[in-house]
C-alpha cells in the first residue's frame, strides 16, 4: 500500500456524495471510504457510481459473523472491484481466513484484482476504560491491539485499522511488512468529537502509518477541497505555494 489518504464519505444520500466529489478537480486521484450508511441504502450502485468518477474504493463494512457467512459475503464484495475491505479481528482466525478465501475466489470469478483485507482492531471510539469495564479485557489498549494485529497477520489479512497511539508497538512487534490504516485523524485546530484516540497526519506518518482516513474535517468543511489539500500537505509533508 502506498502512502494513501482516504476520505470517509459519511453522507446520507448519493446526491450529497456527488455534490461533494464534484468540488474536486481530479476525483480519479482520490481514495474514498464507503461505510454502512451509504452501502445499506444504495448497495453496490453506490460503489459503481463512485467508481465511475475514477475514485479508488475502501468499502468499510466491518464484517463479523460465522466463517461460512463471511466467506459468502466477501465472495460477493470482491466482485465489485473495490480496493480495500474490512473484517473485525475479534471474529477470530477462522473467520478471517474465510474472509480471505472469499475475496480470492470472488475476485477470480469476476476477473478482478483481490481487494486488500484489513482487520479492525479496537475502534478509535473505544477508551481504555471501555476496554477494561465493558469488554472485560485485562490487557492494556496497546497490548490488545498488538495481539489482534498479530492474529490478523497470521490469518491472512494484509493490514489492520488502528489508532496512531498503537503504531510504535505495532511496527516493532508485528512488523513493517504489514499495513496500518489510521482513522481518527485531526489537525491540531480541529475538534476530536466522538473520537477518543486521535492524531495529526504528521504524527501518524512519523509513527509508521501506511494510510490515514479523514472524514468530517473535510466533508463538513465549508471549503472541502481546500481542507483536503491541507490534510494532504500535512500527510505528505508538502509545502504548498499559493
The C-alpha atoms of residue 209 and residue 169 are separated, in whole angstroms, by 12
Can you say which residues are annotated as belonging to the binding site for substrate? 10, 33, 60-69, 124, 186, 195, 215-216
Measured CA to CA, the distance from residue 217 to residue 7 in angstroms comes to: 10
Domain positions in the chain are 4-236
65 is catalytic: yes
C-alpha span between 3 and 197 (Å, rounded): 21
Distances (CA, A) of 173 to 142, 143, 170: 11, 10, 5
3-state DSSP call for residue 124?
coil
Contacts of 53 (CB under 8 A, 6+ apart): 21, 27, 28
pLDDT (0 to 100) of residue 190:
61
| Residue 205 DSSP symbol | H
Known catalytic membership, residue 189: no
* pTM greater than 0.85 (yes/no): yes
Which stretches does DSSP call E strand in 26-178? Answer: 31-34, 56-63, 84-88, 116-120, 159-161
175, containing H or E segment: none
For residue 214 the three cell numbers come to 479523514
**Active-site pick, 60, 83, 158, 190:** 60
Q: Which of 16, 53, 62, 105 is catalytic?
A: 62
Q: Could you give the count of Cα atoms lying within 13 Å of 180 in the half-sphere of its Cβ? A: 29
Architecture (CATH level 2) of domain 4-236: Alpha-Beta Barrel (3.20)
pLDDT tens figures, 41-82: 999 999 999 999 999 999 999 999 999 999 999 999 999 999
- 4-8 and 56-63 strand pairing: unpaired
Per residue of the chain (242 residues), give pLDDT as tens: 778 999 999 999 999 999 999 999 999 999 999 999 999 999 999 999 999 999 999 999 999 999 999 999 999 999 999 999 999 999 999 999 999 999 999 999 999 999 999 999 998 788 999 999 999 999 999 999 999 999 999 999 999 999 888 999 999 999 999 999 999 898 866 644 544 457 899 999 999 999 999 999 999 999 999 999 999 999 988 655 44
**pLDDT at site 123:** 87
pLDDT at 241: 45
CB 27 within 8 A of CB 21: yes
State in Å, rounded, how far the first CA of the chain is from the last one. Answer: 30
**Binding residue positions:** 10, 33, 60-69, 124, 186, 195, 215-216
The pLDDT score that the predictor gives to residue 192 is 46
Q: Is 60 a catalytic residue?
A: yes
Q: To which H or E segment does residue 180 belong?
A: strand 179-182
Q: Write down the pLDDT at residue 239.
A: 56
Task: Please report the pLDDT score of residue 197 as a whole number.
Answer: 56
Catalytic residue, from 16, 65, 79, 105: name it. 65
Amino acid at each position: 500500500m502506498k502512502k494513501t489518504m482516504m476520505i470517509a464519505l459519511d453522507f446520507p444520500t448519493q446526491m450529497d456524495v456527488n455534490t461533494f466529489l464534484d468540488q474536486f478537480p481530479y476525483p480519479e486521484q482520490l481514495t474514498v471510504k464507503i461505510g454502512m450508511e451509504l452501502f445499506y441504502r444504495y448497495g453496490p450502485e453506490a460503489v459503481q457510481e463512485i467508481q465511475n468518477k475514477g475514485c479508488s474504493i475502501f468499502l468499510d463494512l466491518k464484517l463479523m459473523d460465522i466463517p461460512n457467512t463471511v466467506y459468502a459475503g466477501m465472495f460477493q464484495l470482491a466482485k465489485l472491484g473495490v480496493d480495500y475491505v474490512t473484517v473485525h479481528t475479534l471474529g477470530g482466525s477462522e473467520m478471517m481466513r474465510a474472509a480471505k478465501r472469499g475475496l480470492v475466489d470472488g475476485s477470480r470469478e469476476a476477473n478482478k484484482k483481490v481487494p486488500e483485507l484489513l482487520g479492525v482492531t479496537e475502534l478509535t471510539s473505544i477508551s481504555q476504560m471501555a476496554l477494561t469495564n465493558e469488554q472485560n479485557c485485562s490487557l492494556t489498549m496497546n497490548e490488545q491491539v498488538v495481539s489482534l494485529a498479530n492474529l490478523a497477520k497470521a490469518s491472512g489479512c494484509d493490514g489492520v485499522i488502528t489508532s496512531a497511539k498503537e503504531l510504535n508497538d505495532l511496527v516493532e512487534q508485528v512488523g513493517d511488512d504489514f499495513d496500518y490504516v489510521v482513522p481518527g485523524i485531526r489537525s491540531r485546530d480541529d475538534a476530536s468529537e466522538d473520537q477518543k484516540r486521535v492524531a495529526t497526519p504528521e504524527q501518524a506518518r512519523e509513527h509508521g502509518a501506511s494510510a490515514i482516513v479523514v472524514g468530517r474535517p473535510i466533508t463538513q468543511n465549508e471549503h472541502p477541497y481546500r481542507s483536503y489539500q491541507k490534510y494532504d500537505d500535512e500527510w505528505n509533508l508538502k509545502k504548498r505555494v499559493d
